Structure 1
Amino acid sequence: MTAALTVDHLTKSFGGRKAVDDVSFTLPEGAFLSVFGPNGAGKTTLLRMLATLSRPTEGTIEVGGISLKEEPDRARESIGLISHNPMLYPDLTAEENLLLYAKLYGVENPQKRVIELLDAVGLKHRRLDRVRTFSRGMTQRTSIARALINDPSLVLLDEPYSGLDPHAIEIFDELIESVRENRTFVMVSHDLDKGLALASHVLVLAKGRVVAFAEKGDLADDEFRALYRSTVGLGVA
């Protein structure tokens, strides 16, 4: 069976500094990988390379067997990105934003797809309102719809809970759970509790290198927290 995501000896250098240093891991279809580490560990740089927003200095990435280096356009068809930056145009309506992305991806019957997704995130009734009038939680829900417009098999999440209130977090969790089937997720997070609750696999980065990678079932939460403290040097609440 082809792996959902294969990262092999991935390195990203900026001048003489390696932000990501020889990172390798493989995820099966349906996995949820939570990536932890202190500021400057290379988490966001790793995610940007997975999202095809940054090119590796060395190493390879394959999504469903498709090389991001050899076939980047084809690979992007299988990738969705959700982050604290919603990547929406504030002066366009929710519907206009999603239609724009649907057409960029060549989605068949884009109007139908847009309405389906806005309904799924509970915003069909606000589809004609400009995004700048939305709350942070509503904007993030629209961002989820945007990320799913191309029905991606790999969904990347970069600190998606940043700035959300507890109610918005609850809604966000329910939305992620509703779309988990047959998708693979990679989430960068500083929140150990949230990351561990969602994860099937965990990865810890420090100074750009992997210091831990395991299936969650192979490591009890307490063991993982102790490993995190000892390898990264950060306390946990």
Structure 2
Amino acid sequence: MRIDRVHVAGVSKRYGPQRALANVDVDLRAGSLCALLGPNGAGKSTLLGILSTLVRPTAGEVVYLSGDRAVPAGAPLRAQIGVLAHESFIYGELTAVENLDFYGNLYSVPRRRDRAAALLDEVGLDDRARNRPARTYSRGMLQRLALARALMHEPPVLLLDEPFTGLDRHGAAALARTLDRARRDGRVVLVVSHDLEALDGVCDHVVVLRRGKVVVDRRAPAGTAFSHAELKDIYHEFDE
């Protein structure tokens, strides 16, 4: 299934008296990488949870569109989404290969061992590392494996919460290349990140949240992407 657009319309979320999001409107497009920015507590992870269908909004809706047709909510839609959240969903007693094989089986991925090997190459886990139990991994290695898990079923939508956490400069650069490739392949990509330098030349759409509200929603000119300096300027445009 192809997802051409994700339309967020009037989305609000409250946790009791606490407002997390207030009337958020955003359009995410295939072939575009959106950086979702904002200070801690701005509502970024809440919005990502709603987009992933794991959190229900208090008001408003999120519509996934394939062409002009809305994709119904439920398991078929969730299968189109790859999520990297704070929880890695990696089984510590399994090796990297076994973890990916498990998730590949859940999604009926064909030739899943070949797919797993290609992904582990892409995220930079070598042969020695990929055959050790994941509980022996460093934080950066777990982050790489969690990214491979999110990509395993080749989802048309990628939602990544702080994917650069725990990665060294080499790992961050490799991840940026992977995200840029996903964008060029026509996927919808949303990245929550505080690491603006890692997003240099990769994202072409920026949304900034403050106190649960969208204060910036900006796209780069067609065929271009924002530089690190431009991202910093956009982020600080509405500093209080």
* Shared fold, TM over 0.5: yes
How far residue 26 of structure 1 moved from its aligned partner, in angstroms, is 1.1
1:13 counterpart letter in structure 2: R
Q: How does 1:1-237 map to 2 (within 5 A)?
A: 3-65=4-66, 70-123=72-125, 125=127, 126-180=129-183, 181-195=185-199, 197-217=201-221, 225-226=232-233, 228-233=235-240
How far residue 89 of structure 1 moved from its aligned partner, in angstroms, is 1.2
For residues 85 and 170 of structure 1, the distance between their equivalents in structure 2, rounded to whole angstroms, comes to: 22
Q: Is the 8 A contact 1:7 1:25 kept in 2?
A: yes
For residues 171 and 191 of structure 1, the distance between their equivalents in structure 2, rounded to whole angstroms, comes to: 14
For residues 151 and 56 of structure 2, the distance between their equivalents in structure 1, rounded to whole angstroms, comes to: 23
SS of the equivalent of 1:217 reads coil
Q: Is the 8 A contact 2:143 2:165 kept in 1?
A: no
Q: How many residues align?
A: 232
SS of the equivalent of 1:197 reads coil
Give the TM-score of the pair, scaled to structure 2.
0.84
Give the TM-score of the pair, scaled to structure 1.
0.85
CA root-mean-square deviation: 2.7
Change beyond 3 A, Cα 1:167–1:10: same
Q: Is the deviation greater in 151-160 or in 167-176?
A: 167-176
2:34 counterpart letter in structure 1: L
How far residue 203 of structure 1 moved from its aligned partner, in angstroms, is 0.5
For residues 87 and 232 of structure 1, the distance between their equivalents in structure 2, rounded to whole angstroms, comes to: 35
For residues 107 and 119 of structure 1, the distance between their equivalents in structure 2, rounded to whole angstroms, comes to: 18
1:231 counterpart letter in structure 2: F
For residues 20 and 110 of structure 2, the distance between their equivalents in structure 1, rounded to whole angstroms, comes to: 39
For residues 104 and 114 of structure 2, the distance between their equivalents in structure 1, rounded to whole angstroms, comes to: 10
How far residue 2 of structure 1 moved from its aligned partner, in angstroms, is 7.2
Identical residues among aligned pairs (%):
37
Q: Is the 8 A contact 1:93 1:131 kept in 2?
A: yes
Q: Is the 8 A contact 2:93 2:134 kept in 1?
A: yes
Q: Is the deviation greater in 222-231 or in 97-106?
A: 222-231
Unaligned runs of 5+ in 2: none
For residues 213 and 62 of structure 1, the distance between their equivalents in structure 2, rounded to whole angstroms, comes to: 18
How far residue 33 of structure 1 moved from its aligned partner, in angstroms, is 0.4
How far residue 148 of structure 1 moved from its aligned partner, in angstroms, is 0.9
